[in-house]
Structure 1
């Protein structure tokens, strides 16, 4: 039975369920920061997925990336599966701008998070057709 890691539950807003992954929004309005989490129990690494699931994950990551590129027109998309703090397999998709507070460094720990308002979340959901 799949359960979302507690830290992801606490730090994120659930947006959608795709065929393989749950789509999350990190609740920090300073960076458009999305996370894909395969809905399979006990995964830590991409290689823990079957070959077919790895293909679906890649397709869902590409779909999300294209959506983010179209909606936000970033200078760069940062995509990573780190898992040092949250071992559950999850893939970060962070929209980056040369003007953001952390540029060009990683976003982790630069500033305290600034939660989204309900209106901001609604606008993101609308733009992404969720």
Structure 2
């Protein structure tokens, strides 16, 4: 786990179990979902207690939008996908986090959502590190 930079912030245990850290962006920690069926990342704003985007300060909202767009563009360049899905649902994990998923026609579950489709397929360790490094370089 990467060191926590914001006093009082703790990553939700489910997010920590399901994803791997890639890098710090500024406001957010960028994490890779450990499911190789889709290139799927999370941005987790380092704000204790935040559950909704509207709970962030206007400056943090702007920063979250900037970081989400930056990650979406990099993910599209790295994967060559045809569609980027992004969203902050929080129905199960209440801690504020934004999903950014690279989608292409014919991927598992297309055109439906990635949530609840099939069984998660973890990355091989070396593939996880390789993809993370490619995304870091694109950012």
Please give the TM-score of this superposition, normalised by the length of structure 1. 0.96
For 1:106, the equivalent position in structure 2 comes to 113
Establish whether residue 14 from structure 1 lines up as the match of residue 21 from structure 2: yes
| Unaligned segments of structure 1, at least 5 residues | none
- Output the CA distance in 2 between the equivalents of 1:125 and 1:101: 21
Residue by residue over 1:15-36, the C-alpha shift from the partner in whole angstroms, topping out at 9 and shown as x without a partner, is 1111100101111000111000
For 1:31, the equivalent position in structure 2 comes to 38
- Output the CA distance in 2 between the equivalents of 1:84 and 1:93: 16
Establish whether residue 52 from structure 1 lines up as the match of residue 59 from structure 2: yes
Aligned residue for 2:75, secondary structure, equals helix
| Unaligned segments of structure 2, at least 5 residues | 1-7
Aligned residues: CA RMSD: 0.9
Please give the TM-score of this superposition, normalised by the length of structure 2. 0.90
- Output the CA distance in 1 between the equivalents of 2:99 and 2:117: 17
- Output the CA distance in 2 between the equivalents of 1:44 and 1:75: 30
For 1:77, the equivalent position in structure 2 comes to 84
* C-alpha displacement of 1:97: 1.0
Which residue of 24, 37, 47 corresponds with 1:40?
Answer: 47
* C-alpha displacement of 1:129: 2.6
